Homo-oligomer: A and B are copies of this chain.
Amino acid sequence: MFKEKFKNLQQMVEEELHRILDVQEKPEIIYEAMRYSVFAGGKRLRPVLCLSACELLGGDLKKALPVACSIELIHTYSLIHDDLPAMDNDDLRRGKPTNHKVFGEAIAILAGDGLLNLGYEVLIRHALENPEDYEKILKAANEIATASGCKGIIGGQVEDILSQNTELTYEELKYIHEHKTAALIEASVCAGAHMAGASEKEVELLREYAGLIGLAFQIKDDILDVIGDEKTLGKKVGSDREKGKFTFVNIFGVEKSQEMVKELTDEAIKILDTFGERAQFLKDLSNYLIERVN
A interface residues (Cβ-Cβ under 8 A, vs B): 23, 25-27, 29-31, 34, 77, 81, 84, 86-87, 104-107, 109-110, 112-114, 116-118, 120-121, 123-125, 127-128, 131, 134-135, 138-139, 141-142, 145-146, 148-151, 154-155, 157-159, 161-162, 175
Contacts and interface: CB of A to CB of B under 8 A. Distances in A.
Contacts of A116: 113, 116-117
Contacts of A34: 150
A104 B114 CA distance: 22
B86 A148 contact: no
A117 B149 contact: yes
Nearest to A142: B124
Contacts of A161: 106-107, 110
Given A30-B155, A117-B145, A134-B134, 13 more contacts: A25-B151, A26-B155, A27-B158, A29-B162, A31-B150, A34-B150, A107-B158, A117-B148, A118-B150, A121-B146, A124-B138, A127-B127, A128-B142
A128 B139 contact: yes
Contact of A138 (B81, B104, B127): B127
B159 A27 contact: yes
A39 B220 CA distance: 42
A109 to B, nearest CB: 6
A158 B29 contact: yes
A110 B180 CA distance: 13
- Shortest beta-carbon contacts, A-B, top 10: A86-B105, A27-B158, A117-B149, A121-B145, A120-B120, A86-B106, A134-B134, A124-B141, A30-B158, A114-B154
A34 B158 CA distance: 13
Contacts of A105: 86
B124 A145 contact: yes
A141 to B, nearest CB: 5
B149 A110 contact: no
Contacts of A157: 110
A109 B106 CA distance: 11
A162 B121 contact: no
A18 to B, nearest CB: 16
B114 A150 contact: yes
A138 B122 CA distance: 12
A154 B84 contact: no
Given A106-B86, A155-B27, A149 B121 contact: yes
